Amino acid sequence: MRRNRDRWNHNIHYYDLVADAVPSSARTALDVGTGDGLLATRLARTVPEVTGIDSDAAVIERARRSAADALTTTGASAVSSGAVSWIVGDILTHDLPEAHYDAVVAVATVHHFPDLAVGLRRLAALTAPGGTLVLIGLARSSTLHDRVLDAAGVVEHQVYSRTRGFWQHSAPVQMSLPHTYTEVREIAAAELPGAQWRRLPLWRYALIWKRSRR
């Protein structure tokens, strides 16, 4: 069986960045659009209560099974000190506790939302006071800077896919990207004031927002 740490793709590449942004004091984390559940399983090594939610029932079933297989194969303590709760549901409407999660993370998910501003507001509302929201997202290039990073992504893809091997996730994808990076950054500035923005290679951006304690 291929172990999680042996897998590489454009989303997994940024799981370290996400995990590093999660406060070490976090007790609760929510992985939005968890897909195959690799990030949720990884966060459960350090966060006691992790929830993975996805609107696709089939991918949640695969996530649940693969997390259970990993526990059986390697022993619970090697994989996770906590447990992941898996939920089939739409993050925009599912009944979840607001202002609860010390970390809300979403990788390659928010471009699926019908309205990005509404989706970001929902993720912000789920984040606990003092908690952190971490997004790795996809958008369309529209500037020279974007295109330079796209070119860097082509090189990185060639190197990593040859040296690490490319693992294709099984989660639903949406090929059409509704916003440019510039538009995402503007919407985020309005909905998540003070968020840190980074344009990344491998056709991604990172947004990190800390909810104030008050």
Question: CA 86, CA 60: separation in Å to the nearest integer?
Answer: 7
Nearer to ligand SAM, 39 or 207 (CB): 39
Nearer to ligand SAM, 50 or 108 (CB): 108
Q: What does the DSSP 8-state code read for residue 52?
A: E
CB-facing half-sphere around the CA of 116: CA atoms within 13 A: 24
Q: Which residues pair with 205 in a beta bridge?
A: 137, 199
CB of 214 to ligand SAM, least distance (A): 29
Nearer to ligand SAM, 65 or 145 (CB): 65
Contact residues: ligand SAM, CB under 6 A: 11, 33-35, 39, 53-56, 59, 90-92, 107-109, 112, 169, 171-173
Helix-helix angle 116-126:181-191, to 10 degrees: 40
CB of 144 to ligand SAM, least distance (A): 27
**Strand order from edge to edge, sheet including 204-210:** 83-88, 49-54, 28-32, 101-107, 127-137, 204-210, 196-200
Q: What tokens appear for 67 in the block? A: 């997390």
Nearer to ligand SAM, 71 or 88 (CB): 88
CB of 83 to ligand SAM, least distance (A): 19
Nearer to ligand SAM, 130 or 166 (CB): 166
CB of 173 to ligand SAM, least distance (A): 5
CB of 213 to ligand SAM, least distance (A): 27
Q: 204-210 and 127-137 as β-strands: parallel, antiparallel, unpaired?
A: antiparallel
